[in-house]
Amino acid sequence: MHLKDNIVFVEGLNRGRFPFSNSLLVKGLRKTMLIDVGAGFDVLIRLKDRVDLVVITHLHVDHFSLSYLFKGKKVYVPAVESKYRKLVDLAYRYLSEEMVDTWLDFVRRVVGARD
C-alpha cells in the first residue's frame, strides 16, 4: 500500500503480528531503503534486489530477523545496540541464562533469524 508516492507500507506475514512485523520501503532519488526486516521470508525475498540499504529501528527479533537476506548491503542499527552482533549476545541481553537456548531455537526455527 502506497502511503505517499515514494513510501510503501509492506505488510508482514500474519498481518505484521509477532513473530513478524511490517516494513516500510522508501524510494529516494538514487537509493531505496527498507525499514525493518521482519516481515517474513516470502514477503522480503521479493524486495531483496530492489533495496540498496536497510534500517533496523531496534533489535527486537521481529524487526531484524531477516537481515541476512540483505548481505552485502548497508545495514544501519541504532548505535546503542550495534554491539549485539550475534543472536546469542542479544539473547543474553534480554533473557536469563536458562531461557537462552529456548529463545535461540525459537528465533531460528520459527522466525528464521540467523547470525
Sign of the dihedral defined by the CA atoms of residues 5, 43, 65, 15, in that order: positive
In tens digits, what is the pLDDT along the chain, a chain of 115 residues? 888 899 999 999 999 999 999 999 999 999 999 999 999 999 999 999 999 999 999 999 999 999 999 999 999 999 988 888 889 999 999 999 999 999 999 999 988 898 8
| CATH number 2.70.98.40 given to 2-83 | no
The residue extents of the domains of the chain are 2-83
pTM beyond 0.85, yes or no: yes
